[in-house]
Amino acid sequence: MSADTEKTSNEAVKGLKGIIAADSSICLVNGTEGKLLYRGYNIDDLAENATFEEVSFLLLNGELPNESQLADYQNELKKHRSIPAELIDTLKNLPESAPPMALLRSLTSLAGVYDPDAEEESYEKRLEISIKLISQIPTMVAAIHRIRKGLEPVEPDSSLCHAGNFMYMLNGEKPSEDATRAMDLILTLHAEHGLNASTFTSRVIIATLPDIYSAITGAIGALKGKLHGGANTEVLKTLFEIGSLENITPYIKNVRENKGKFMGFGHAVYQVEDPRAKHLKELSRRLGEETGEPKWYEMSIEMEKQVYAEIKRNCNVDFYSASLQHYMGIPGDLFTCIFASSRIAGWCAHILEQLDGNKIIRPKANYIGYEERSYVPVSQR
């Protein structure tokens, strides 16, 4: 189908790549320099020094908290950790075969039904709902994980930090210091990344002025897609498929001969090294030693070296997060839910920013169909 339509200066850009769709003070992603800033703070600085509680507060409020603000914020997160019993009852009645992200999407939507403040439109209530979701998404993810294994959900432990409690709810035992640090780092590094597909989805939805739960449900739906949130799951599958150090070279040769793709390498934005990747590598090494199973880290090191030699592409944040989360006792099909438990902070920050001076997002399509034509009766077609 074609048409001699009049050309305009606004020709369509597939995927909106490079199109500026919003003014935002939340995040800078510089793909040329390999730089990532949250509210002006370099991700290296935050990864080495800040906790996820500090980072999520920063994203929501624009500044890092002082001691008093941090204590209050931590208490707010702890206060909201438990989820309605009805969500657990519903989860137990959903199909065991359902993908974890489908379950998380459905639970998030249902959580809005049970929140009496869901439709409130004041900034204070919307901020409170954002904090509630940052706190409760990990509880939902942990419940999904345990119920799928035939286990009862673990109640939150208010003596633990956000990351430590998340690990405790997942595995049912107090995590080691390295495991807690690993979860905190994963949450920090994935918390925000500009106008990616799921974040843009959340802004498009909230711009129509529904409730925040609707926008977050849509964002989770976008993150569920294979082209967005599941790369580290594929990395783990690849490591399992290869199985040993000596199989890496023939695997790489086979992928190259069949013009395949190396999961966890390259990035849609970064033209140089993903600034987040290096922070996960060392923790993967340490947890590999701690669990007595260093081979997945050793395989990752060797694969990174050989793939770079072949295609001159650096690994991205997904590559070492695969072996790291495996060491943390997290199954591959739950990785994207862990991603959502982190990115919820960025989604909520963008939602609050969009609502400040909101305007509905209504882009224009470049029509390439037929010019006007006449209806023909069915007997004459």
Domain boundaries, the chain: 27-226+334-355, 231-327
Mean pLDDT of 111-126: 97
pLDDT of 3:
41
Helix axes 277-291, 317-327, angle to 10 degrees: 20
Rounded-to-integer distance, Cα 266 and Cα 274, Å: 8
CATH class of the region 231-327: mainly alpha
Q: What predicted TM-score, i.e. pTM, was given to this entire model?
A: 0.91
Mean pLDDT of 49-78: 98
Catalytic position from the list 267, 279, 326, 350: 267
pLDDT of 1:
41
Residue range 205-243, pLDDT digits in tens: 999 999 999 999 999 999 998 888 888 888 999 999 999
In the predicted model, is pLDDT for residue 291 greater than 70? Answer: yes
182: CB partners within 8 A, 6+ apart: 280, 283, 287, 324, 327, 328
DSSP 69: H
Mean pLDDT of 44-68: 97
105: CB partners within 8 A, 6+ apart: 217, 220, 221, 224
| 318: annotated active-site residue | yes
Range with top average pLDDT, 1-15, 188-202, 222-236? 188-202
104 by DSSP, 3-state: which?
Answer: helix
Catalytic position from the list 115, 211, 274, 318: 318
Rounded-to-integer distance, Cα 139 and Cα 91, Å: 12
Alpha helices in the chain (DSSP H): 43-49, 52-61, 67-79, 85-93, 100-114, 123-148, 162-171, 177-189, 197-206, 212-223, 231-242, 248-257, 277-291, 295-311, 317-327, 335-355
Tokens of 366: 């470049």
| 333: annotated active-site residue | no
In the predicted model, is pLDDT for residue 125 greater than 70? Answer: yes
> What strand order describes the sheet that includes 35-38?
27-30, 35-38, 41-42
pLDDT of 9:
54
In the predicted model, is pLDDT for residue 10 greater than 80? Answer: no
Hey, what CATH topology would domain 27-226+334-355 get?
Citrate Synthase; domain 1 (1.10.580)
